[in-house]
Structures are given as C-alpha cells and as structure tokens.
A and B are shown apart, each in its own frame.
Chain A
Amino acid sequence: AQTVTQSQPEMSVQEAETVTLSCTYDTSESDYYLFWYKQPPSRQMILVIRQEAYKQQNATENRFSVNFQKAAKSFSLKISDSQLGDAAMYFCALSNFGNEKLTFGTGTRLTIIP
C-alpha cells in the first residue's frame, strides 16, 4: 500500500514571504506522479503543481515550486511571495502510472499573515 505523510498540520507565513510545506511518501512503484492540491475554505480542490517521478527537474508553476528528492521519497512545496489568496488547506498526493486514483496526505493548513 502507498502512503503520503504531511507532518505539518498548520503553517503560517507573512504576506510576501516564502514558505515550504513538507511531504514524504512511500510507494513500491517505480513510475508515479506527485501532486500538490489546494483546497480553499468552502471551495473545491484545485491542482497546484504536478511532478513526474521519472523527471529529475523540479516542477515550477509561477510562484510555486517543488523540491523532489526521489531517493528520500520527499516532495516539498515552496510558495514564494505569499499572497492572501494562498490561504488554504494544501494536500500532497500520489498516483501510480497507469492508475489515476489519488492517495492524499492529511493536509497542511496555511495561514497568510497580512
């Protein structure tokens, strides 16, 4: 069975600063995908960023970037220039190649301090 662990239930960051959310995972598969999803209060979950395990280069989407350490099974999310709209629950998730069902972590609640 595959697992995803997020050890930070809550994080806070000053507006315009940088914050890093941690995630570790375990899977026996060699081909898989890793994701960070954002779930704003009372709104639907949206995909923030995706990383293919076979790619060595870390994914980047505007202010969001990841640090993917395959050997350590670590996948952290860095948010630069934090904005008030970044406040949300952030979930790390994993899916195996060829099977799109997602395995989620327990989430990190991110608060942005004005």
Chain B
Amino acid sequence: DTGVSQDPRHKITKRGQNVTFRCDPISEHNRLYWYRQTLGQGPEFLTYFQNEAQLEKSRLLSDRFSAERPKGSFSTLEIQRTEQGDSAMYLCASSSPDGSDYNEQFFGPGTRLTVL
C-alpha cells in the first residue's frame, strides 16, 4: 500500500475554467476528507465522506465546488468557473475505524491549483 495518492500534483488553469482533482485513499479506508490550504495558512476542512455518503460540508464549499465518492473508493473534487481566490493546495486524507476512539487521518501529497 503506497498511501493516499492525489492527481494531478499541479494544475494551472485560467479563470473561468473547470477543474477536477482525484484522490485515491488507502485501501479499505472508508473515511475520506478534503481540506484546502492557502499560502501561509493551515489546512481548512472542506468536506467528509464515509463510504459513498457525503456526511459534512463546510461553508467554504461554495456552489461552485462539488465532491463525489461514487463507489466509496476514490473521490473527485470539481471546481466550476474557477476564480483566482481558488488558488490553493487541495489536500485529501483518509482514515479507517479500528475500534479505538480516534482514527488517524493519513494525508496525500496534495494538488496545487493556480488560477491565472
């Protein structure tokens, strides 16, 4: 198992274009999280899936953002009509319940989005 992977690692797009990012969690991890990290800030929670169900969405996730996890495995995050303020690192993390009271989140390397 190679850990959480994200694709692409870098994306440059023009304002107004749509972009889609993919996250592949660690095998058999049923929980998947998306965070956004802007320059000089810590990551901010965007949304969370348990299996294929999207259980929580942050107010940061505007109508232009949509996330899916259709088969409970990989997830996609789409941004429509990108704006310069969307430029950030998008991080994915996964976890799996192991019977303990907390399940560690394992992070991917992130997708760095630059909107020109």
Contact = CB atoms under 8 A, between A and B. Distances in A.
B55 to A, nearest CB: 10
A52 B108 contact: no
Contact of A93 (B31, B33, B42): B42
B28 to A, nearest CB: 17
Interface string A5-25: 010000000000000000000
A50 B33 CA distance: 19
B102 A100 contact: yes
Interface residues of B, number: 24
Contacts, number: 52
A93 B103 CA distance: 14
Contacts of A101: 33, 45, 48, 56
Nearest to B56: A101
A18 B35 CA distance: 31
A33 B104 CA distance: 11
A93 B107 CA distance: 14
Contact of B107 (A4, A44, A52, A100): A44
B44 A104 contact: yes
Contacts of B45: 101-103
8 contacts: A33-B102, A45-B107, A52-B101, A100-B31, A100-B33, A104-B43, A105-B42, A107-B42
